[in-house]
């Protein structure tokens, strides 16, 4: 296995930190949404409280028959208890001003009209106070306790701002505490329910991928019935399958090696027997003369079989090494190897354009065509008596998506046994001395080039199409 080693992210860099960060962010966002209106209401209540104190102060002074006769420091104390510099009370067309003994002349005056109670105005007023500079004076306007009466209070803005800041700080601290506590609680819950089981799955996948043939690494699924439980059971089943498939593959590979070894020795033994049979064939004995040719053909076939099995073992594992290849020339060469070029009875037509160049593995693609041409020749020779003008044609046809090279003959067509086991190695042969490897190797090579090998059923004769993707065009 050339698997690259992969690691799980450290505990706090995985899902957990994302979860914690998301929870805290969401809670803080919710807190901000609640904080803004609550600050505005806090300010409105504070201002209304001041107004009420102002009204009480006015009422107290009202009870005195002659205000002017009151000692100054009593008025001052009343004003200070309301936190104000001055109070103006208007009713029935009269207005009354009460102010400190040493009147303060304010620089900047902002009005807070408490008769406007809509939340937007309150929020804007709250932000105005919060972000204002120092030294402003507030003019609080509100209704008095009598009908059509109006109270105005002049006071510094600083104490209000100070209290609003305190309030914000408290809310901030509380929000953080709530966010942290919720995050921890949710994290513990999510860890227990999801993160821990997901880590277990991931760890198992990583470990199993390193050693898929180690049966003890197959995950033991928990009895949970949710999606994670299903994932665990599916993973366990997949690992089981993979484990048995790999084991089977190893056994097959070992068997294959053994077959190749036996086959190799068998071929050598047969070759020695062939030498002997050649010697025997030269003997004059008429009996020997009758039997020797059969012995020679039988040995030839056996050697051929051993040879193809050896080649099959070698071939299938090599991936194609594509280079620009002239297909017309490739077909010519294959026809020569298949003993079709210059055949005494069979006419061979190579109809491929001279300039068709494809990026293919010349050796492998040559073998595909060679197998198809050899099959066609063998079929035509075998049925020679019934075919008046035996011929083999190779043509090409291109569409946008692919290039098709067809090998067609006017022979007897595929026998039923070959049709049933088409492209199955060692099974498809329907002729004496055939291994049944030619077509299966040809298909494998075509597929390794990203193409296909297709049998095209015809009313007479046989046609195979090698379909290659047009991207192979050089």
- CA gyration radius, the chain: 50
β-bridge mates for residue 403, sequence order: 398, 468
What residue 366 binds from ligand ATP, Mg ion, none (CB within 5 to 8 A, per partner kind)?
Answer: none
Distances (CA, A) of 468 to 10, 50, 104, 204, 445: 48, 91, 98, 41, 11
Complex with ligand ATP: residue 208 or 464, whichever CB lies closer: 464
Please state, in angstroms and rounded to a whole number, the distance separating the CA atoms of residues 258 and 57. Answer: 113
Min dist CB 419 to ligand ATP, Å, is 8
- Residues 23 and 179 sit within 8 Å (Cβ to Cβ): yes
Please state, in angstroms and rounded to a whole number, the distance separating the CA atoms of residues 334 and 356. Answer: 16
Please state, in angstroms and rounded to a whole number, the distance separating the CA atoms of residues 54 and 88. Answer: 9
Min dist CB 199 to ligand ATP, Å, is 52
Please state, in angstroms and rounded to a whole number, the distance separating the CA atoms of residues 423 and 445. Answer: 12
What residue 263 binds from ligand ATP, Mg ion, none (CB within 5 to 8 A, per partner kind)?
Answer: none
What residue 376 binds from ligand ATP, Mg ion, none (CB within 5 to 8 A, per partner kind)?
Answer: ligand ATP
Residue with tokens 């100054």: 72
Of 80-88, 246-254, 290-298, 436-444, the segment contacting Mg ion by CB under 5 A is: 436-444
Q: Which residues contact 160 (CB under 8 A, 6 or more apart)?
A: 43, 46, 47, 129, 138
Min dist CB 11 to ligand ATP, Å, is 58
Q: Which residue number places its CB atom closest to Mg ion?
A: 438
Of 147-155, 159-167, 257-265, 435-443, the segment contacting Mg ion by CB under 5 A is: 435-443
Complex with ligand ATP: residue 129 or 375, whichever CB lies closer: 375
Q: Which residues contact 93 (CB under 8 A, 6 or more apart)?
A: none
Would you give the binding string for Mg ion spanning residues 393-432, x where CB under 5 A is met?
----------------------------------------
Q: Using the rule CB under 5 A, which residue among 204, 364, 375, 462 binds Mg ion? A: 375
Residues at the contact surface with ligand ATP, assessed by CB under 6 A = 308, 371, 375-376, 379, 409, 411-415, 418, 428-431, 434-440, 462
Min dist CB 303 to Mg ion, Å, is 16
The answer to the question of residue 438 lying near Mg ion (CB under 5 A) is yes
Token digits for 355? 């300039």
Min dist CB 372 to Mg ion, Å, is 8
- Residues 404 and 396 sit within 8 Å (Cβ to Cβ): yes
By the criterion CB under 5 A, which residues form the site for Mg ion? 375, 438
């Amino acid at each position: 296995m050339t698997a690259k080693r992969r690691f799980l992210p450290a505990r706090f860099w995985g899902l957990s930190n994302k979860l914690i960060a998301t929870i805290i962010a969401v809670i803080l966002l919710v807190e901000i949404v609640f904080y803004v209106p609550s600050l505005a209401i806090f300010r409105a209540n504070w201002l209304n409280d001041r107004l009420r104190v102002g009204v009480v102060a006015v009422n107290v002074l009202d009870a005195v028959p002659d205000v002017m006769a009151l000692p100054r420091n009593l008025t001052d104390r009343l004003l200070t208890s309301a936190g104000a510099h001055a109070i103006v009370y208007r009713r029935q067309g009269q207005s009354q001003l009460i102010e400190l003994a040493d009147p303060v002349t304010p620089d900047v005056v902002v009005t807070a009209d408490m008769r406007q109670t809509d939340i937007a105005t309150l929020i804007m007023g709250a932000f105005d106070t919060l972000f204002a500079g120092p030294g402003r004076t507030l003019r609080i306007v509100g209704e008095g306790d009598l009908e059509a009466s109006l109270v105005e209070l002049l006071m510094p803005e600083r104490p209000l701002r100070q209290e609003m800041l305190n309030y914000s700080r408290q809310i901030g601290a509380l929000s953080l505490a709530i966010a942290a506590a919720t995050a921890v609680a949710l994290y513990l819950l999510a860890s227990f329910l999801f993160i821990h089981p997901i880590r277990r799955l991931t760890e198992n996948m990583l470990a199993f991928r390193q050693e898929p043939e180690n049966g003890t690494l197959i995950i033991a699924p928990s009895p949970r019935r949710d999606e994670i439980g299903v994932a665990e059971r599916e993973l366990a089943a997949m690992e089981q399958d993979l484990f048995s498939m790999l084991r089977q593959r190893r056994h097959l590979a070992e068997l294959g090696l053994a077959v190749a070894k036996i086959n190799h020795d068998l071929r050598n033994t047969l070759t020695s027997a062939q030498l002997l049979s050649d010697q025997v064939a030269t003997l004059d004995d008429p009996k020997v003369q009758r039997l020797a040719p059969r012995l020679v053909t039988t040995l030839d076939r056996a050697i051929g079989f051993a040879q193809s099995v050896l080649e099959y073992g070698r071939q299938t594992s090599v991936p194609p090494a594509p280079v620009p290849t002239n297909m017309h020339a490739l077909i010519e060469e294959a026809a020569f190897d298949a003993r079709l070029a210059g055949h005494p009875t069979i006419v061979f037509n190579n109809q491929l354009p001279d300039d068709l160049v494809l990026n293919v593995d010349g050796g492998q693609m040559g073998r595909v065509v060679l197998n198809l041409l050899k099959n066609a020749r063998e079929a035509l020779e075998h049925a020679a008596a019934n075919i008046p003008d035996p011929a083999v044609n190779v043509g090409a046809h291109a569409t946008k998506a692919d290039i098709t090279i067809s090998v067609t003959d006017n022979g007897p067509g595929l026998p039923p046994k070959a049709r049933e086991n088409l492209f199955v190695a060692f099974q498809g042969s329907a002729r004496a001395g055939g291994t049944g490897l030619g077509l299966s190797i040809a298909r494998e090579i075509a597929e390794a080039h990203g193409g296909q090998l297709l049998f095209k059923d015809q009313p007479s004769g046989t046609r195979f199409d090698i379909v290659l993707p047009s991207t192979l065009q050089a």
